[in-house]
Amino acid sequence: MRGPHNIWRLIRTGATFERTGAMGQALDAMQAPRAIRVAARVLAWPFRWLGYKGDPDMPPVTRAITALGPAYIKFGQILSTRPDVVGEEMALQLRVLQDKLPPFSIAEAQKSIADELGRPVDEVFSEFSDPVAAASIAQVHRARRADTGEEVAVKVLRPGIERAFQRDIDAFYFAADVIEFLSPASRRLRPRDVIEHFEGVVKGELDLRLESASASEFAANTVSDEGFQLPQVRWGLSGRRVMTMDWADGLPLGDNDALDAAGHDRRALGERVLQLFLSHALRDGFFHADMHQGNLKVHANGNIIAYDFGIMGHIDEYTRRVYAEILFGFIRRDYKRVAEVHFEAGYVPATQDVDEFARALRAVGEPIFGMDASHISMGRLLNYLFEVTERFGMETRTELILLQRTMVVVEGVARSLHPEVNIWEVAKPVVEDYIKVSIGPRAVLGDLAKTAKVLGRFGPRLPGLVEAALIRQSEVPDEVQPRRWMGRVAWLSSGVVLGGVISYLLAHGF
């Protein structure tokens, strides 16, 4: 339930960070202002005895996050890919949150599998290992099918995970309400909408049938992508709390020493991760939205293997075009066009000055170009971008939350493989190809063709639509009838004519 009782949960959050010694380290790593550091320590210290103790064998921040539960662990996973934000040492400490959390017992896992599949585990699998990876929501076991002898990966949800997530989500909603009440300026960031979006993503991740469907769709979209492969879902051995896929052999993408020993080009791998993500987002509008090192491997042949499809992002065609134009504008350093796209899409209120906004964007983008990528602080860049968006009244775009978050994560993965990977240089060919296909003359013809198909489907219904329009017209006051009638006739006429012209062009090969 969402209410004041969630204050207790938030107090325990601060108390846990203080008790485990994580408060100071976290604020130092984030380079928080001194005033915030002092205030946080002073407010949390009296309640430190209420905090969770956590595992004393873990580093302080990792210890606090794991003690607080799965929602906090998800946040820690994101930070583990951002050494430029939290520092190399802390990013390395947080890496264990990706797939090295304490597992639950093998007996509990086997019971869940038997309940889900309706058969004892030893009838389904001739071999069933201890957990090989354990994350915030589920853990994975390596097994061998009893009928075919094939090696598979069996993913099982943690017992009670649904209740644990809901408890944290309720506390986050309460925190968002408090923030909006105390700081009206924060409402433009739409904190409640952000939490609502996060809740939807998490609920989808807690049903492994949806993950299996996502994996299947993703595999169909990417079957021709060079240097990329996915394990196949075994539907007959999957359900709501259990998911079975082919076993993926490969080196963890986060193990740089192992990649070097195997002779892989880490810079090329980092660039490919970025380009694959952009290609999936722009070309397909359906992308892996949890692409941290714990969900990626490198096959012996150099292919990147992705798995764990619980969080997938989807963006419609219009949003993809807007996003591509913004990226393309930054790449070309055409800040005026980037500003215009923001206004055309409604991202910035029309009352703002487009030229002034373009100048502000230039201050964000120019430091990127002509600079060694290893010297670019994404943390400072994002802080300045936040100031710009606040100044021009931009609201948080909830439909882009996953896209923006994944872009940050993927860049962090690429930079961890090679610090000099530059997102703008790597993105350029992918974005240019998308622009040519989706925004040029060919795209216009494609849009017209789609319009013709829609009009064609409504063709048999045109007489009924006209009759319904006449009936509604009789209910309109006399003084506005001529104007409204002319508008509807013009709409129907133009639609029929446009459909006929496009059909003729398509039929004759234009």
pLDDT digits (tens, 9 = 90+) for 268-290: 999 999 999 999 998 999 999 88
Q: What is the pLDDT of residue 497?
A: 36
- Where is the domain boundary, 439, 462, 477? 439
Does any domain span residue 139?
A: no
Strand pairing category for 251-252 and 304-306 = unpaired
Task: Please give the Cα distance from 96 to 135 (Å, whole number).
Answer: 9
Q: Using the predicted structure, report yes or no on whether residue 84 has a pLDDT greater than 60.
A: no
CA 43 to chain centre: 33
Of the pLDDT bands very low, low, confident and very high (cuts 50, 70, 90), residue 384 is: low
Q: Which of 252, 246, 227 is nearest to 304 (CA)?
A: 227
Task: Answer whether residue 229 is part of any domain.
Answer: no
Q: What is the mean pLDDT of the chain?
A: 79
Domains in the chain: how many in total? 3
Q: Which domain holds residue 471?
A: 441-507
Report, as an integer, the average pLDDT of 55-81. 80
The domain boundary, picked from 98, 116, 137, lies at 98
Of 439, 472, 497, at which residue does a domain stop? Answer: 439
* Residues classed as catalytic: 290
- pTM for this one? 0.70
Instruction: Say yes or no to pLDDT of 505 above 50.
Output: no
Predicted local confidence at residue 493, as pLDDT:
37
**Maximum mean pLDDT: which of 204-208, 224-228, 372-376, 404-408:** 224-228
Could you give the percent of the chain with pLDDT greater than 90? Answer: 28
Q: Give a yes or no: residue 323 inside a domain.
A: yes
Structural domain includes residue 192: no
Do 334 and 390 belong to one domain? yes
How many whole angstroms separate alpha carbon 157 and alpha carbon 111?
11
Please give the pLDDT value at position 292: 84
What integer is the mean pLDDT of 86-101? 73
Same domain, residue pair 403 and 457? no
Confidence of residue 377 (pLDDT cuts 50, 70, 90): low
> Pick from 380, 412, 416: which is nearest to 30 by CA?
380
Q: What is the distance between the alpha carbons of residues 323 and 327, in angstroms, rounded to a whole number?
A: 6
